[in-house]
Structure 1
Amino acid sequence: MKFFRLFVLASFYLFFSCNAGAQDGPALYQQHCAQCHGADLNGGNATSLVDGIWQFGAEDGYIYRNVKFGISHLGMPSYEKTLNDTEIGAILKYIRGSEKNAGAERPSIVKELETMDYFMNVEVFADKLEIPWAIDFIDASTALITERPGRLRVVKNGVLQKEAVRNTPEVLHEGQGGLLDVAVDPDYSQNGWIYVAYSHALSNVEGAERPPAMTRIVRGKIRDNAWVDQQVLFEAPHETYRTTRHHYGCRIVFDPWGYLYFAIGERGTDIHAQDLARPNGKVHRIYKDGTVPTDNPWFDAENSMPTLYSLGNRNIQGMAIHPETGQLWATEHGPMGGDELNLIEAGKNYGWPVITYGLNYNGSIVSEYTRKPGYEQPVYYWKPSTAVCGLDFYRGDLFKKWKNKLLVGALKYEEVSLLDIEGDRVMHEEVIVKGQGRVRDVSTGPDGAIYVVLNKPDAVIRLTPKLD
């Protein structure tokens, strides 16, 4: 948490407040950047910096880190030893000013995409949303979309309904918190249950500067466009709530045997991911009614939470069940570098923060170890990190060549990757969507189309194969 705060403060200072050295931005750019990106910033050996397209993160913090630490696998060197923070800030200020003067605008959503196997049609399924976070489907004609500020939206027969579902749970919409995942019960046609995850705040806590919060899981039903019959399935002990406002997780998935899995991020306190008495930094397993399976790995362990299924998970924002094996797969955010794809198994420790392939955001070392006995290795990891988010195995019939392949979203890199999985190995990765927006969620619809939830723009797009 200390490093996160320091980085945020340093970034704010450098990018928005610091004028020292700003007059040297053009000269520094010409000296260090122009050879690749062009003297006029319009590109050359590397991409243009004034066309509104940022392949490796559009936000100031991402660009700053890309300059400072490089993108080595693409040949972009690190300038950590060449430029100080003020000089990098001056270059960034010059780039942003040039981008504005060039009238750069973010490209609109494309209508077609090309992959190795298919040409795809792209259509806007829903737009004019506010920070959409997740999508799931009641049936072939009805979709549910969460908006992080706290609204549950309904798309009926391809039309986004004007009124959000009334009386949904009150959420703490601060930082990364708010209304997060939504999941429709596999037996919805018989029971009508819908599950949501959100940041739940405690009120009237004596001595607290701001209310502590934690991820909470509830289920309810929608009747006459209102949330009714709510049941709380998981609420952590209140003494474990945190005043931080990031790394809540959270995804909800169901396996074929009736278990419900959800994940909670470490909430900014790394070592809590190794503490069995705390909910954060873990995967949890319960039944759909909230009762706890007695064969959970730490059900009877002293000073542990009975719902725990795995530990050492930094911040999972993608979970999916393999359609054939029923195995639980998850993607989790590393720090700077070290995003992971993990096969989650009962009682396993996935290492955070004891082992990691990433660094703190200021470049300092989290751990000197990438592997240690007793800690699981990721099946696959991304370095540099793409900010993996949203996960689903393709289960439809429209893209037959992609059956049971894994769809992985990424916020920072604004992409959807397709991973070919064999057993517990990734055989191949292909980027099938790029630069359409920050990918928050990806899901197979009942119609076999692929639905991608985007932030910036706040929309959902629908992908289908282009017919010959």
Structure 2
Amino acid sequence: MKSLLLATFLPACLIAADESPDLSKMKVDKLYETLCASCHAADLSGGQGPSFLDGEWKHGDTDADIFQTILKGNISLGMTPWEGILTDEQIRSLVIFLREKEKEALTKGIEFPKPELGKVSKTEKEDYTIEMVVEEGLKIPWALAFLPDGRKLVSERPGRLRVISADGKLDPKPIEGTPKVISHGQGGLMEVAVHPDYEKNGWIYLGISDGWWEKGEGTDKKGKKNKDKAHTITAVVRGRIKDHQWVDQEWIWKADKKFYSGSGVHFGTRFVFDQGYIYFVIGERGGMMEVQDLTNPKGKIYRLFDDGREPKDNPFVDNKDAIKGIWTYGHRNPQGLDLDPRDGSLYSTEHGPRGGDELNLIRKGANYGWPVITYGMNYNGTPITSETSKEGMEQPVTYWTPSIAVCGLDFYTGDAFPGWKNDLFAGALAKKEVRRLRIEDQKVVEEEVILKDFGRVRDVVDGPDGFLYVIFNGPDQIIRLVPAK
């Protein structure tokens, strides 16, 4: 059982003020080493104090319980109260650190399905085998869309739109004339989606990093020529494909040029069509409080008519300064978006920082809190905030600590896997996973890793043939899951 027994007194090095380290500047791993390791061991396995790795917590197992135990301590048990010594933000970072290590220890040794060609992978609800859709020839594939004639479109982040024929062959020649993208950092050609009435109108939508390059002038302090600088932000465009050419292009959404950024991160991007509207994501581009600003386009989910017009019933149309297309705000970097086929609820998966990846239920006009509230901390182990909730800000449906780098997602609506019907499938880049989530009454009631360690999962797509398609980056491949015979 766990008492969270930290050192009874501060380490000797903290007694003399002139020798004491500056705790305020310590990263979380150094904080643990300085204040906790003498009792709980450097590897958290326990010693004078109990282990942090076994999932047992004597004084409450919620994050709030652990926070309070660190804050207030328990002198009778030898537990030092750190109130007044550590900030709330530092204590919150320690909670995240403990959760990361606990989760890693509890999942160590568990065998998850790692699919191999010709072998059956068994899961709780369904067994499957994999079929290779595209084994080679792609470079950083990002999204997959299906045409009515059996062909597929696949976007590549460097800027190419490719076609997979109905019989499964990747055309070596990209579609010509697609919009120029700024392939910079995590940006490039990202989302591709086919309009629900494609057979009537032929529209194909792309999510791209739009912008320009500023030529570097002069030299730096070392005498090296300054590099060219990118100015980018995510944009949405549509067009048609005729004779392997991109034609009839129309811009659906572009930001004011004053918001274009040199950052190479967090472009967001996914599309959902519903009843004549298009929902799409613009990532926060590495900004922070900008996402709380309704006059700034970053860190928002948008709702427009599918031709780019602004609906008059959007939540902020009466705010004279707000961007009228905004549907929700306070997002970091969502890269998954889909509708629950049962009730039309809109869900998004969002990259957190270190810890705190989120699944969110997207509600009209809601604020999702970044960076005021978060379940994560900075990548380097320094805190962002101690707050995980605040009035007027949405809580995630679920969140993942440690981060799994949650990416594309899709509800399964096919008939080939009846045990998965209406379940939500989410990809994870860092953890190389596909997770199945069962949602009932807008809550996650089951979660299962159905695929692991095949590659970095960029997207999961519910195919019209009833199979589940998975896009990988590293290896750059596309596979599909089919029922085991």
Bin of the TM-score, shorter chain as denominator length: 0.7 to 0.9
2: CA distance, partners of 1:239 / 1:248: 16
1: CA distance, partners of 2:117 / 2:430: 19
Query: Which of the numbers 188, 204, 212 marks the counterpart of 1:178?
Result: 188
Query: Which of the numbers 372, 391, 399 marks the counterpart of 2:390?
Result: 372
Residue 231 (structure 2) aligns with: 212
Post-superposition CA distance 1:210-262 (Å, at most 9, x none): 1311001000001011111000000001111111111000101112x211000
In the alignment, structure 2 segments of 5+ residues that lack a partner are 1-40, 46-95, 108-113, 218-226
Query: Which of the numbers 236, 241, 259 marks the counterpart of 2:255?
Result: 236
Residue 17 (structure 2) aligns with: none
Residue 251 (structure 1) aligns with: 270
Please tell me whether the aligned partners of residues 301 and 327 of structure 2 are also in contact (alpha carbons under 8 angstroms).
Answer: yes
2: CA distance, partners of 1:118 / 1:373: 41
Q: How many residues align?
A: 376
Residue 119 (structure 1) aligns with: 127
Instruction: Specify whether residues 119 and 160 from structure 1 end up closer, same or farther in structure 2 by C-alpha distance, changes over 3 A only.
Output: same
Residue 177 (structure 2) aligns with: 167
DSSP-derived class of the 2:246 partner: strand
Residue 240 (structure 2) aligns with: 221
1: CA distance, partners of 2:42 / 2:385: 31
Query: Which of the numbers 117, 128, 132 marks the counterpart of 2:141?
Result: 132
Please tell me whether the aligned partners of residues 70 and 76 of structure 1 are also in contact (alpha carbons under 8 angstroms).
Answer: no
Post-superposition CA distance 1:265-285 (Å, at most 9, x none): 110011111011111101011
Given the two structures, how large is their TM-score scaled by the length of structure 2? 0.74
Residue 321 (structure 1) aligns with: 339
AA in 2 matched with 1:233? I
Please tell me whether residue 74 in structure 1 is matched to residue 83 in structure 2. Answer: no
Residue 330 (structure 2) aligns with: 312
Post-superposition CA distance 1:20-57 (Å, at most 9, x none): xxxxxxxxxxx988x9xxxxxxxxxxxxxxxxxxxxxx
Residue 98 (structure 1) aligns with: none
Post-superposition CA distance 1:159-217 (Å, at most 9, x none): 11121111111111111010000010000011000000010113569999613110010
2: CA distance, partners of 1:228 / 1:443: 26
Instruction: Specify whether residues 251 and 147 from structure 1 end up closer, same or farther in structure 2 by C-alpha distance, changes over 3 A only.
Output: same
1: CA distance, partners of 2:170 / 2:201: 24
Deviation for aligned residue 1:69: 8.9
1: CA distance, partners of 2:98 / 2:478: 33
DSSP-derived class of the 1:75 partner: helix
Post-superposition CA distance 1:91-149 (Å, at most 9, x none): xxxxxxxxxxxxxxxx9954432111222110110122100001111126111110000
Deviation for aligned residue 1:286: 0.5
Deviates more, 1:178-187 or 1:140-149: 140-149
Residue 205 (structure 2) aligns with: 195
Please tell me whether residue 362 in structure 1 is matched to residue 380 in structure 2. Answer: yes
In the alignment, structure 1 segments of 5+ residues that lack a partner are 1-30, 36-65, 78-106
Identity, % of aligned pairs? 47
DSSP-derived class of the 1:273 partner: helix
AA in 2 matched with 1:394? Y
AA in 2 matched with 1:133? W
Query: Which of the numbers 400, 406, 416 marks the counterpart of 1:388?
Result: 406
Post-superposition CA distance 1:361-411 (Å, at most 9, x none): 011111110001010000111111100001100011101111111011000
Please tell me whether the aligned partners of residues 181 and 188 of structure 2 are also in contact (alpha carbons under 8 angstroms).
Answer: yes
Instruction: Specify whether residues 398 and 273 from structure 1 end up closer, same or farther in structure 2 by C-alpha distance, changes over 3 A only.
Output: same
2: CA distance, partners of 1:248 / 1:242: 11
Please tell me whether the aligned partners of residues 248 and 264 of structure 1 are also in contact (alpha carbons under 8 angstroms).
Answer: yes
Please tell me whether the aligned partners of residues 126 and 459 of structure 1 are also in contact (alpha carbons under 8 angstroms).
Answer: yes
2: CA distance, partners of 1:417 / 1:239: 39
AA in 2 matched with 1:165? I
Residue 9 (structure 1) aligns with: none
Instruction: Specify whether residues 76 and 430 from structure 1 end up closer, same or farther in structure 2 by C-alpha distance, changes over 3 A only.
Output: closer
Instruction: Specify whether residues 243 and 189 from structure 1 end up closer, same or farther in structure 2 by C-alpha distance, changes over 3 A only.
Output: same
Please tell me whether the aligned partners of residues 110 and 436 of structure 1 are also in contact (alpha carbons under 8 angstroms).
Answer: no
2: CA distance, partners of 1:302 / 1:404: 40
